[in-house]
Amino acid sequence: MIKDLPKHRGLRNQLVATIKAKGIEDDSVLEAISKVPRHLFMDSGFIDFAYQDKPFPIAADQTISQPYTVAFQTELLEVKPNDKILEIGTGSGYQTAILIELKAEVYSIERQKELYLLTKKFLPKVGYVSKKLVFGDGYLGLPDNAPFDGIIVTAGAPYVPKSLLSQLKIGGRLVIPVGKNTQVMTLYTRKGEKEFDKHEYGDFRFVPLLKDSNNLGST
């Protein structure tokens, strides 16, 4: 297995400087980015590019998100130690690892079985232990484990699933990119049983949050 070497740490420090220059301010988020060895989360063909601020292909035609985007969403989530966080779209597990670095209790759902199995095996091997990884449909959230302090959606949602809003604690935050071709980063904060604040934070581009679950369980 490829290791984490001083050269990788150096490249991560440069990456932190890059995303800081792009506007990320939260020190705990920057520190998490400086710690997670992104090159270990990527397919071997792309390892040399791991510390560029770009998304890259992973298994099952999906992507590992751009570090700036990961940092941006994580900053909006305002994670505190011991927060219970639900992630939709485990993918490579990179965002999951960032949340674990922030000492969150992480639940994460992935709908591609291949990725789910790969990442479930991989994350503990590199020292990142989540609370629960689930193979399933993120549109449904995880009602049995709700409510959550924060929910982060890492795929482009054509609309905001009501089930996710309903699984937030009062004061909890949902960070979700909303839209079809491009997405607007949107933050919902639960103010009361039926009351939510909404703020929008500019355009991003994600792989789609897939709706049909025909393939679930078939591989």
Determine, following the binding rule CB under 6 A, whether residue 210 of this chain makes contact with ligand SAH. Answer: yes
147-186: which residues touch ligand SAH (CB under 6 A)? 154-155
The residue whose two tokens read 């485990």 is 90
Which position among 75, 101, 137, 149 is part of the footprint of ligand SAH (CB under 6 A)? 137
Find the shortest distance in angstroms from Cβ 157 to ligand SAH.
Answer: 9
Stretch that binds ligand SAH, among 6-14, 111-119, 161-169, 175-183 (CB under 6 A): 111-119
Nearer to ligand SAH, 64 or 174 (CB): 64
Nearer to ligand SAH, 163 or 189 (CB): 163
Determine, following the binding rule CB under 6 A, whether residue 138 of this chain makes contact with ligand SAH. Answer: yes
Query: For residue 119, which amino acid is it?
Result: T
**CA angle at residue 109 from 108 to 113, to 5 degrees?**
130
Q: Which residues are catalytic?
A: 65
User: How far apart, in whole angstroms, are the C-alpha atoms of residue 158 and residue 113?
Assistant: 22
Find the shortest distance in angstroms from Cβ 109 to ligand SAH.
Answer: 5
Residues 53-92: x where in contact with ligand SAH by CB under 6 A, - otherwise, as a string: ---------xxxx----------------------xx-xx
Find the shortest distance in angstroms from Cβ 78 to ligand SAH.
Answer: 18
Nearer to ligand SAH, 193 or 206 (CB): 206
HEC profile for the chain? Answer: CCCCCHHHHHHHHHHHHHHHHCCCCCHHHHHHHHHCCHHHHCCHHHHHHCCCCCCEECHHHCEECCHHHHHHHHHHHCCCCCCEEEEECCCCCHHHHHHHHCCCEEEEEECCHHHHHHHHHHHHHCCCCCCEEEECCHHHCCHHHCCEEEEEECCEECCCCHHHHHCEEEEEEEEEEECCCCEEEEEEEECCCCCEEEEEEEEECCCECCCCCCCCCCC
Determine, following the binding rule CB under 6 A, whether residue 101 of this chain makes contact with ligand SAH. Answer: no
Which position among 56, 68, 94, 148 is part of the footprint of ligand SAH (CB under 6 A)? 94
What residues make contact with ligand SAH under the rule CB under 6 A? 62-65, 88-89, 91-92, 94-95, 109-112, 115, 137-139, 154-155, 207, 209-210
